[in-house]
């Protein structure tokens, strides 16, 4: 849970920094790849010997830049949730000072913590307050790091003799003109790459996956129907853009996902999963195109768009009974993923933007490019760490950053979706206190009796759709609160959540 700035202290765990503050720190540390200097000296947690970040981790972090994501953001997420004794803001400042990343440490002291004095934390004139150049170079060499643009790092004395107020003014607030736009993590509600998790589903080629029931479309035909992918763009994520088109005037609309060139694995993963199941609450595939410069997946077009879009732009279209129906449909789709095979499939990116609504407002879960085989609800062990975990930060359970993939990840994400249905609020909004929805709601209800769900929903319930249905809203909130339990072992599986929602529907 992110805390408001006025509640932060040096002893606050790093993971409680708000998304907005981490974004601002990322814009500082992504410059000239300064995050690599920090990565080189982060120790293992709980007093263990060695470094937390390995050379393979660094390679994964570097790859985030290729898709416009911030390696600093992922690094802080992973470090902040590692170990039993979590890193604190003071730990962060000390390491920043050790490798002379004063701009970031001053930002923490002055802008975030608003300390009146921090000479004891950042003594730039003390030779013992930072590692010598040879030590840091040795660490970075051990990780095979190439820190672009840091040639003057070891001899930087430019801070010596300056007052802290001058440093704060000149450094913490200087413009980001050196910042490449692609290195800046701007949208916390968009897919965000964190550090590490399972390997992807087995590599295969499309022809080995496609069966006779899947239609293969001509790339050229779809290119013409979308006016060379210039018209009717529905949205864009980390893996590619989605377009609406129809191939003939008398045909139904279809949705076409055009994948970016770097994401063939995601194409094959999504295709492999989607050919395994058929369920009315999971988005079905119409066909594919493999004969052009880009891989395409064709879906049925959902005329009412995503749940996120509907809540933001047309909330009056969703009555309380319809919101319950959408929650039920989504839960049924997720449960099918978790139970249709001997091993559960974990979606890993459940969010309102991936819940699509058809003409009758029936919910269908989409976007299966991140699905992985995971552990079941009763398995609390952590899976081996391997390649990359991708998800959406504000929907991600704490254990996701440690590479623990189980069906409980989807339970946590579904809990945030339920909060959206109850409150009608955006999952992330910088204009309110508590930028992410979970933090905002927890702040709003902090002084209320947590067992009195009806009083709580009278405080946070969506008032834009007429009279509040306290019974439905309270039950949705109760299930949400269970789903967002920080400890995985106390979080319900989706089958349990579905039973609770079905009981509400019957009564």
Binding residues for ATP: 257
Distances (CA, A) of 34 to 64, 174, 487: 15, 16, 33
The whole-angstrom separation of Cα 200 and Cα 371 is 9
Cα 122–Cα 123–Cα 126 angle in degrees, nearest 5: 145
Q: What pairs with residue 254 in β-bridges?
A: 245, 300
Q: Helix H segments across 71-186? A: 71-80, 89-98, 102-106, 133-142, 164-167
Candidates 464, 466, 422, 465; CA nearest to 444 is 422
Straight-line distance from the first to the last Cα atom of the chain, in angstroms, rounded to the nearest whole number: 34
Q: Which two tokens stand for residue 112?
A: 């975030």
The whole-angstrom separation of Cα 337 and Cα 414 is 14
Indicate if 349 belongs to the active site.
yes
Q: What pairs with residue 455 in β-bridges?
A: none
Work out whether strand 254-259 and strand 355-357 pair parallel, antiparallel, or are unpaired.
Answer: unpaired
The whole-angstrom separation of Cα 391 and Cα 357 is 21
The whole-angstrom separation of Cα 407 and Cα 253 is 34
Spot the catalytic one: 91, 349, 404, 462: 349
Q: Which two tokens stand for residue 352?
A: 């309102």
The whole-angstrom separation of Cα 176 and Cα 190 is 22
Annotated binding-site residue numbers: 257
The whole-angstrom separation of Cα 196 and Cα 381 is 16
The whole-angstrom separation of Cα 199 and Cα 113 is 39
Task: Name the residues annotated as catalytic.
Answer: 349
């Amino acid at each position: 849970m992110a805390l408001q700035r006025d509640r932060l202290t040096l002893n606050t765990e790093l993971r409680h920094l708000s998304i907005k503050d981490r974004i601002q720190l990322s814009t500082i540390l992504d410059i000239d790849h300064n995050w690599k200097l920090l990565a080189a000296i982060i120790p293992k947690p709980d007093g263990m010997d060695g470094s937390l970040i390995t050379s393979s981790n660094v390679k994964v972090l570097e790859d985030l830049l290729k898709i416009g994501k911030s390696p600093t953001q992922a690094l802080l997420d992973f470090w902040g949730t590692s170990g039993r004794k979590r890193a604190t803001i003071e730990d962060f400042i000390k390491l920043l000072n050790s490798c002379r990343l004063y701009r970031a440490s001053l930002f923490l002291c002055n802008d975030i913590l608003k300390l009146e004095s921090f000479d004891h934390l950042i003594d730039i004139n003390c030779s013992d307050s930072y590692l010598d150049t040879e030590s840091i170079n040795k660490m970075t060499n051990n990780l095979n790091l190439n820190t672009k643009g840091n040639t003057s790092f070891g001899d930087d004395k430019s801070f010596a003799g300056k007052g802290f107020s001058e440093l704060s003014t000149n450094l913490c607030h200087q413009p980001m003109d050196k910042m490449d736009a692609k290195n800046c993590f701007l949208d916390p509600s968009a897919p965000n790459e964190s550090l590490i998790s399972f390997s992807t589903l087995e590599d295969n080629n499309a022809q080995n996956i496609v069966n006779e029931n899947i239609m293969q479309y001509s790339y050229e035909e779809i290119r013409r129907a979308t006016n060379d992918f210039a018209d009717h763009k529905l949205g864009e994520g980390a893996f590619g853009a989605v377009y609406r088109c129809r191939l003939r005037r008398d045909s139904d609309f279809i949705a076409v996902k055009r994948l970016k060139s770097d994401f063939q694995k995601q194409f094959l993963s999504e295709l492999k999963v989607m050919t395994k199941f058929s369920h009315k609450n999971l988005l079905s595939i119409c066909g594919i195109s493999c004969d052009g410069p880009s891989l395409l997946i064709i879906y049925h077009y959902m005329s009412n768009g995503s749940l996120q879009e509907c809540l933001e732009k047309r909330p009056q279209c969703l009555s309380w009974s319809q919101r319950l129906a959408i929650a039920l449909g989504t839960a049924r789709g997720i449960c099918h993923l978790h139970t249709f095979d001997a091993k559960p499939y974990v979606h890993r990116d459940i969010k309102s933007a991936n819940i699509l609504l058809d003409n009758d407002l029936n919910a269908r879960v989409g976007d299966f490019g991140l699905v992985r085989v995971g552990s079941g609800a009763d398995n609390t062990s952590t899976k081996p760490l391997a390649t990359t975990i991708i998800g959406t930060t504000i929907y991600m359970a704490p254990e996701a950053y440690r590479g623990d993939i189980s069906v409980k990840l989807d339970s946590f994400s579904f809990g945030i979706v339920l909060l959206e249905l109850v409150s009608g609020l955006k999952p992330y909004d910088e204009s309110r206190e508590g930028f992410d929805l979970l933090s905002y709601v927890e702040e709003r209800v902090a002084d209320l009796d947590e067992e009195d769900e009806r009083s709580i929903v009278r405080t946070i319930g969506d008032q834009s759709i007429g009279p509040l249905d306290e019974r439905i809203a309270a039950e949705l909130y109760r299930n949400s609160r269970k789903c967002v339990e920080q400890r995985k072992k106390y979080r319900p599986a989706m089958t349990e959540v579905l039973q609770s929602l079905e009981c509400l529907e019957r009564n």
